[in-house]
Amino acid sequence: MKKRFNRRDFIKTVAATGVGFAISDPLLASVQRDFQSSAFKAIPIAPPMDKVRIGYVGVGLQGTSHVENLLKIQGAEIVAVCDIVESRVKRAQDMVEQAGFKRPDGYSKTAFDWQRLCERNDVDLVFTATPWQWHVPICLAAMNNGKHAATEVPAAISMDECWELVETSEKTGKYCIMMENCNYDKVEMMILNMVKKGLFGELVHAECGYLHDLRGVKHDMDGEGVWRRDFSMRSNGDFYPTHGLGPVMQCMDINRGNYFDYMVTYGSKTRGLHDYAVNRFGPDSAEAREKFMLSDVVTTLIRTMNGETIVVTHDTSLPRPYSRNILVQGTKGLIRKYPEPKIYIEGVSKTDDQWEPINEYMDKYQHPVWVDLEVASKGGGHGGMDFIEDYRLVNALLKGIEPDMDVYDAVVMSAVRVLSEKSIAKEGKTLKFPDFTRGMWKKSRELPVMQLTR
């Protein structure tokens, strides 16, 4: 008999267990815990592996996409899969077996069956693509059981969770990596390459965000609506800063000679989700009576230690085309990706003060990683960038080299969410950014993704 896990069952399970369902109140998290934390302890580079044995937790839409990628990457072996929905586990098992590999063991007995997976002695990496509130418990269990951890975004949803990830990674010497796929987008990586080659001069400003009409997704009770809508009902902030912020952080060397100094967030009125429910389900429906807290548009302004400014926008409750609103600007020019990529470089562009298409720049400035992996990434999720992020992680573990991102990247991006909620609740209060690195950010370090390692 097919097991169905509905929204009410899911929420009741989480509430009963008390597992990090941080919509409870992330504002109570300890923002200034950095002053009490132990000294920074460098996370050692893991030794090379003959193969990377993977336990996968959460094989819904995005998790299944990752499984498909991993089956194409030499040296990756999926030995176990876990999901609260038994049919999804079977689907993933079938995929692995049909690809010519040994059928992985399945875990779907309870909402906590991932604990048994983390305790296995034949797993090197635990990868999770579960709802947000499960990311930290699973990553902590993985590291405390001697495994590296990789998680979908965001890595954490409270400040205490951010610190737990940092301290556990440092204590165990295991990686905790947030899989921010937009860091591997073709245009974003080209922009990064342009920045590193000095095309825009000294960086001054950037804009980015997550602008995606998710009204239908949040009301899909056979999908992410089971959990995602509840966050919109119980808290207000930038829930998803990482897609836009990840590429910008790399351009600005955050954690590698630069850091976030302080930030402030404002939220608009809340109308979109209610109007959608009225129009779709009717004015007298249960959905139309639901109350939402999430502002339709959330705007955050960040200033870095090196003096750059970043505007981050979260816009998921209104009708609109998709955008990550990427713009990077320096003393010599600027580039914008949406709605179509355009560039202006003083003294280089053909017409003064006029945008031009990026076509003529593509061949010269395409990122070496894309030149190397574009053919292999064909058919991968989100235009191939999902395959490239999975490949780069597996490749780093196989070769014993530093992964492209580390636990500090994961928590710095995720903490923007927490601070945005606190700033809005405090009527636009400017907040100092906690230093998860305890001063390590001041040391200039090479960005691993700029290295081609096959």
168's tokens: 């556990």
62 and 23 belong to one structural domain: yes
Query: Over the chain (454 residues), what is each successive 10-residue block's mean pLDDT?
Result: 45 46 42 53 93 98 97 98 97 98 98 98 98 98 98 98 98 98 98 98 98 97 90 97 98 98 98 98 97 98 98 98 98 97 97 95 96 95 96 98 97 98 98 97 95 73
Q: Answer whether 385's CB lies under 8 Å from 370's CB.
A: no
The answer on 57 and 172 residing in a single domain is: yes
The answer as to whether 2 is a domain residue is no
Is residue 192 domain-resident?
A: yes
Same domain for 100 and 224, yes or no, is no
Per the DSSP assignment, residues forming a β-bridge with 78 are: 54
Closest CA to 113 of 53, 57, 54: 57
Domain co-membership, 168 together with 244 = no
Q: Are residues 244 and 328 in the same domain?
A: yes
Alpha carbon distance 318, 296 (integer Å): 7
Same domain, 74 and 195: no
* Rounded-to-integer distance, Cα 299 and Cα 317, Å: 14
Task: Answer yes or no: do 175 and 193 share one domain.
Answer: no
SS (H, E, C) 286-330: CHHHCCCCCCCCEEEEEEECCCCEEEEEEECCCCCCCECCCEEEE
- The reported pLDDT for the residue numbered 453 is 67
pLDDT of residue 449: 97
Output the pLDDT for position 454: 61
- Separation between Cα atoms, residue 100 and residue 262, nearest integer Å: 51
Is residue 179 within 8 Å of residue 242, measured between CB atoms?
no
Could you list the beta-strand ranges (E) of 220-283: 260-267
* CATH number, domain with residue 152: 3.40.50.720
Residues 34 and 153 in one domain: yes
Considering its fold, how many domains does the chain have in total? 2
Output the domain CATH number for residue 257.
Answer: 3.30.360.10
- pTM of the predicted protein model: 0.93
Q: Which of 127, 148, 179 is the last residue of a domain?
A: 179
Verify that 273 and 352 share a domain, yes or no: yes
- Please check whether residue 194 lies inside any domain of the structure: yes
Q: 378 with 248, same domain?
A: yes
Answer yes or no: are the C-beta atoms of 46 and 397 closer than 8 Å: yes
Domain ends where: 150, 179, 208?
179
- pLDDT value, residue 4: 44
Domain of 167, in residue numbers: 7-179
CA–CA separation, 454 and 234 (whole Å): 45
Residues 222 and 144 in one domain: no
167 and 234 assigned to the same domain: no
Would residue 1 count as lying in a domain?
no
- Assigned domain for 68 exists: yes
Note the pLDDT of residue 306. 98
